[in-house]
Each structure stands twice: as C-alpha cells, then as structure tokens.
Amino acid sequence: MRALLAPLMVLLLVVTACGPLPRPFQPESKLAIDLRAPSTRAPMRVEIPTGQVPGDPKRFALKVSERLLTLGIPAEPQWFSMAAAPALETHRLRSVASVAAGQGATEKVEVAWSLVSPAGNEKSLAVAQIVLPRDVWESENTKAVDDAAFVSAATIARALETSLPTFDLAEGDGPRLVVLPVEGATGDGSESLEYAITRALQQQGLPVAAIPQEQDLLLWCLVDIGPAQGGAQLVTIRWRLELADDFTEIGTVTQENLVPAYSLAGPWRDSADQIAQAAAEGILALVQQAGIMPTEQLRREQ
C-alpha cells in the first residue's frame, strides 16, 4: 500500500477553473482470481521466466495470467496446466528477465516477452520495465513479484492491442472524444491511465470514439515524473483537448502531486482511476465552457 505525501491535487483549466478534486492516489485494492480449475483451451499459457528469474517464478507466471484475464485475455500459467491443450489452439508467452542497477537504492528490472505460436514460431512481443528496491527481485518478496507481473500483463495486452475497452460509438453527428495513447508514464501507467480516462469520460456522459472524424475532439495526455528528491517525486499530468480537423487547442487540464519516490514505477492500480475521475471532471468543464458540445448531446449520452 502506498502512502501519499502531501495529498493535494491541483487542477488548472485554460478556459475555467472548477472545484476541489478528489485525492488522486488511494490505497490499492487487492484482486484475487481463482485459477484452480484452468481451461485446457486457454489460448495463452504463461511460461516461467528465464534469465535472472524472480524469487518466486511460479507466482510471477500465475499473477501475469490473473491480470491478463482481467484485461480480457484468457491465460493460465504453463506450470498450472492439468492437461495438454490441442496444439492448434495454444500460444505461449515466453519471457527473459534481466536486472540492472537503478538510481539510488533501486534496481531496474526488464522482462522481454515473446509470443510462441502453436507451430513453435517465436516472435518478439514487448519489454516490460519496472523499478524496484534493490535486491528484491530475486528475493522472496511477493509484492515485488506481483507488481512486476501487473506491469508485464499491461505491456503484453498493449502489444496484443487488447488492453483498451470496446467503444460504443456515439449516435448522431455531434463531436466525440478520442483518447490518444498516454505518453511519459512509467510502469503500467500508459495502459492503466488510458483505460481509466476512457471509462471516466463515459461516466461523465461524454461521448467517446476509437477512431477520430473531422467533427471529433482529440485528448492528449503527457505524464512528467520528476527526479526523486527527499524521498518524493513531483508528478505532473497534462491533458490537452484539440479539434481533430485542424489540431486547434481548446484547453488544458493540469494535475500535480508529490508521491513517494518510485511509487509509480510499477502498477498504478487505483491511482489511475482516481486521477482519471478527477481529470474527467475538468475535461467536462472545458467542453461545457468552450460550448463545443451541445447540452442536449451531453444529456443524451448520460
């Protein structure tokens, strides 16, 4: 559980300002998924990593599988399979882990993932990166293993292009919001924050689409995580709203907060939801103040 330093979130609107925001970083919730009855038809099987393996490699494979399931990817650990699946139905996720010295008392773990086809053909998929306290990766620290698995699953889902929700396209000819990939976030922040802001915008009644058209709006997000100083880091998140046809800027929403050093180097979990909910309120205010989306359309989407 991550404790928040200076629990203050500042929201700045170019068009207008709105009221106080909820705390952006809340205690994480634990997620438990029962994999005791694995399916022999699961299309993905997660192998135990090779290279500089974690202290509990079986747990790592299990936790990656659990998180992939929550992202809509049927998966199970290779070691947990009770029977051999038909060769034409099963892909394997293979990984090689490496550890390098990080800044201060940290280490940087990289897990290079590849996808092995039923025919045995292997292709590079993605590299997951996470910063951990020094010497914990190869220890029996279960939290470090779980955090690395959480980040790995998000990285895999992004590479497989299945980490985002299915969009229900808005009806009518009015503008919709198109969320672009989040830039600059560490850990699984890019995937988690993009997913969270999409849900938060829909909860605010804003129409969201996957592919932009001329009348739509583009939502950019840039995350800037400052250097560690005095055990803390300043996190600045800027959301920029633009017209899709000519990229004219409508306004920006800026969020800032101090967090414990390297606390966002792994999984963001509930932090992404809290940040997105606060940002969505500001983005809604931008849309309303700019008068670019009729009130009737907002009511229809709610």
Co-location of 101 and 210 in the same domain: no
- Please report, for the domain that includes residue 63, its CATH number: 3.30.160
Name the residue among 165, 61, 172 with its Cα closest to residue 111: 61
- Please report, for the domain that includes residue 269, its CATH number: 3.40.50
Co-location of 152 and 258 in the same domain: no
d(CA 252, CA 273): 19
Q: Is residue 14 part of a domain?
A: yes
Co-location of 250 and 277 in the same domain: yes
Co-location of 101 and 178 in the same domain: no
Q: Is residue 191 part of a domain?
A: yes
What DSSP state is assigned to residue 275? H
Q: Is residue 212 part of a domain?
A: yes
Co-location of 175 and 148 in the same domain: no
Co-location of 201 and 108 in the same domain: no
Q: Is residue 39 part of a domain?
A: no
- What confidence score (pLDDT) does residue 165 get? 47
Domain extent for 59: 44-159
**pTM check: above 0.75:** no
Co-location of 125 and 178 in the same domain: no
Co-location of 211 and 151 in the same domain: no
Cβ-in-10-Å burial (0-12, 13-18, 19+) of 234 comes to middle
Co-location of 201 and 52 in the same domain: no
- What confidence score (pLDDT) does residue 265 get? 83
Co-location of 188 and 260 in the same domain: yes
Q: Is residue 37 part of a domain?
A: no
3-state SS, 199-246, equals: HHHHHCCCCEECCCCCCCEEEEEEEEECCCECCEEEEEEEEEEEECCC
- What confidence score (pLDDT) does residue 29 get? 34
- Alpha-carbon distance values, 302 to 21, 28, 227, 285 (Å): 21, 28, 41, 15
Judged by phi (left if over 0) then psi (alpha if -120 to 50, else beta), residue 301 lies in alpha
- What confidence score (pLDDT) does residue 170 get? 52
**Last residue within a domain, chosen from 159, 174, 203:** 159
Contact, 64 vs 93, CB < 8 A?
yes
Q: Is residue 59 part of a domain?
A: yes
Total domain count, the chain: 2
**Last residue within a domain, chosen from 159, 191, 216:** 159
Give the pair of three-digit tokens for residue 203: 């909860």
Q: Is residue 64 part of a domain?
A: yes
**Last residue within a domain, chosen from 128, 143, 159:** 159
Q: Is residue 236 part of a domain?
A: yes
d(CA 164, CA 124): 21
Tens-level pLDDT at each residue, the chain (302 residues): 444 333 334 454 544 333 333 334 433 333 333 433 334 445 788 999 999 999 899 999 999 988 888 777 888 888 776 555 444 567 889 999 999 988 778 888 999 999 998 888 899 998 988 888 888 898 888 888 888 888 898 888 888 875 444 445 455 567 888 888 888 888 888 888 888 898 899 888 888 887 788 888 899 999 999 988 888 889 999 999 998 888 888 888 999 988 888 888 888 878 888 999 999 999 998 888 777 765 555 544 55
Co-location of 172 and 276 in the same domain: yes
Co-location of 223 and 135 in the same domain: no
